[in-house]
């Protein structure tokens, strides 16, 4: 399928026009395989041989691991570019240069070059974006390029280039239709970003045997969580600001570290990667980097009064972690706003949070993958939650407004679920702030 004939791009073509075009030129959102995207990259001469290239795969924690790596490299005076997905509010979030969002014009110029080079080759929306990111990074000549895998690893478009370091953050069941229905199968897909005699860091605490087999087959120099690097958590205090923890790597060790604004294990994985690359900052710098590293939609405090926290947790592993980090908030009740996509493991995702002292505001999400709020309600009832603790809404904004109206001092409003759920609340919050 090729709609090139109907699309004539020029210097005035906007990013939104480009994105509409990209959504129209491939019959499916996902088309696993590297041949098409690799052939276009080769035609364009795309490579990142002059940059330190880090590729990050995993079920959860990719974005925050990339973020801490980025901040640590920037603190050492390096130029850094990051490609991540999906975005929350602006497509420009998908590429950062030295911590700032890339400009719309940079995407448009890259898209035009890809469109010219691809000829009759079909590319998905994601593949187009991946090639654009790589082209932009190459043109910028950055010291460090960090690529977040979109789906799996082995057949993801980011895997057309050979990384200097492969990172696997976590492994759990998600995207089973594409990656397999067991952790063993999913681990092999994610391990596909590793290279013969290459370097790797594995942040997963319970690594499947298949992952170890790949590391052995490829003679990878690997660092493993719980074997080569460790998190030692401090005692919980009444004031969460006073919680500290300790990190121990193969050679380095840091104590009295501030509790991060991103998941603790992802900080640990990033530190192990920096150690393996011999790029660990000093103790004082590490503390400052951890204290200052944040990422929108990840344990993000949208306001203090009322206390609102948003997180894109959308699978069982993420909500189990959420159940733990929520204990840092000393609140009388949680008002939970949640919307999900229908192709997720909804019962298993909601179950870890069903024991919260909470009122649930369940939102329907729209689009082909949208999920009706009644499905979420049924899932919570299956998890033994009383139906009287739930209320359904036709969209996320309505659910969020209702939670606000019911809020009392000493409570917490938690927004979680899909990226589209958090994005809708962020857009609503931004619009209200501008009024």
* Domains (range + CATH), the chain: 48-101+140-292 (3.40.1190.10), 300-434 (3.90.190.20)
- Note the pLDDT of residue 52: 98
Looking at the DSSP bridge assignments, the partners of residue 393 are 363
Query: Is residue 237 scored above 70 in pLDDT?
Result: no
Within 141-237, residue ranges assigned H as helices are 176-179, 183-191, 209-217
CA 21 vs CA 7, 93, 120, 276: distances in Å: 7, 19, 15, 42
Please give the residue that has the higher pLDDT: either 149 or 237.
149
Cβ burial, residue 233 (10 Å; 0-12/13-18/19+) = exposed
Please state, for a pLDDT cut of 90, what percent of the chain lies above it: 74
Within 76-218, residue ranges assigned H as helices are 104-118, 125-140, 176-179, 183-191, 209-217
- Note the pLDDT of residue 181: 64
Residues 6+ apart with CB under 8 A from 222: 199, 200, 201, 202, 215
DSSP assigned state of 225: B
Within 218-300, residue ranges assigned H as helices are 264-276, 283-292
Distance CA 225, CA 241 (A): 26
Of 223, 258, 253, residue with least CA distance to 239: 258
Per DSSP, the three-state class of 397 is helix
Residue pLDDT, tens place only, 292-324: 999 999 999 999 999 999 999 988 888 998 998
Distance CA 399, CA 416 (A): 12
- Note the pLDDT of residue 432: 85
Contact 112, 7 (CB under 8 A): no
- Note the pLDDT of residue 24: 84
Please give the residue that has the higher pLDDT: either 369 or 127.
127
Mean pLDDT over 74-78 rounds to 97
Contact 60, 169 (CB under 8 A): yes
- Note the pLDDT of residue 2: 44
Query: Is residue 179 scored above 70 in pLDDT?
Result: no
Query: Is residue 32 scored above 90 in pLDDT?
Result: no
Mean pLDDT over 106-130 rounds to 94
CA 163 to chain centre: 19
Average pLDDT value for the chain: 91
Which pTM value belongs to this model?
0.89
Residues 6+ apart with CB under 8 A from 73: 80, 143, 144, 279
Mean pLDDT over 138-149 rounds to 98
Residue 392: CB atoms within 10 A of its CB come to 17
Query: Is residue 334 scored above 60 in pLDDT?
Result: yes
């Amino acid at each position: 399928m090729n709609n090139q004939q109907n699309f004539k791009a020029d210097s005035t073509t906007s990013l939104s026009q480009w994105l509409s075009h990209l959504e129209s030129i491939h019959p499916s959102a996902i088309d696993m395989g590297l041949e098409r995207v690799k052939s276009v990259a080769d035609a364009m001469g795309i490579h990142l041989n002059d940059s330190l290239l880090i590729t990050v795969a995993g079920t959860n924690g990719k974005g925050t691991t990339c973020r801490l790596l980025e901040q640590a490299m920037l603190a050492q005076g390096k130029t850094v570019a990051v490609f991540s997905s999906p975005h929350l509010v602006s497509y420009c979030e998908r590429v950062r240069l030295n911590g700032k969002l890339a400009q719309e014009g940079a995407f448009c110029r890259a898209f035009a070059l890809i469109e010219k080079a691809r000829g009759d080759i079909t590319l998905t929306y994601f593949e187009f974006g991946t090639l654009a990111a790589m082209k932009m990074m190459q043109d910028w000549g950055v010291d460090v390029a960090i690529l977040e895998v979109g789906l799996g690893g082995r057949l993801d478009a980011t895997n057309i280039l050979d990384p200097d370091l492969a990172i696997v953050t976590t492994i759990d069941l998600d995207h089973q239709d594409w990656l397999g229905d067991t952790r063993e199968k999913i681990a092999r897909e994610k391990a596909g970003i590793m290279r013969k005699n290459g370097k790797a860091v594995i942040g997963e605490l319970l690594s499947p045997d298949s992952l170890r087999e790949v590391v052995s087959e490829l003679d990878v120099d690997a660092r493993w969580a719980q074997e080569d690097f460790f998190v030692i958590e401090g005692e919980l205090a009444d004031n969460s600001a006073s919680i500290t923890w300790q990190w121990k790597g193969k050679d380095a060790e840091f104590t009295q570290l501030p509790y991060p604004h991103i998941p603790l294990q992802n900080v640990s994985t990033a530190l192990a990667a920096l150690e393996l690359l011999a790029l660990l900052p000093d103790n004082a710098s590490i503390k400052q980097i951890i204290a200052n590293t944040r990422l929108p939609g990840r344990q993000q405090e949208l306001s203090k009064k009322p206390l609102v926290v948003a997180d894109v947790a959308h699978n069982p592993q993420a909500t189990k972690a959420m159940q733990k980090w929520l204990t840092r908030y000393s609140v009388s009740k949680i008002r939970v706003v949640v919307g999900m996509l229908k192709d997720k493991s909804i019962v298993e995702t909601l179950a870890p949070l069903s024991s919260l002292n909470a009122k649930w505001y369940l939102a329907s999400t729209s689009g082909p993958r949208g999920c009706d709020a009644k499905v979420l309600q049924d899932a919570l009832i299956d998890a033994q939650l009383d139906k009287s603790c739930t209320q359904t809404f036709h969209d996320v904004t309505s659910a969020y407004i209702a939670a606000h109206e019911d809020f009392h001092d000493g409570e917490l409003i938690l927004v979680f679920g899909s990226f589209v759920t958090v994005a809708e609340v962020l857009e609503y919050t931004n619009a209200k702030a501008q009024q």
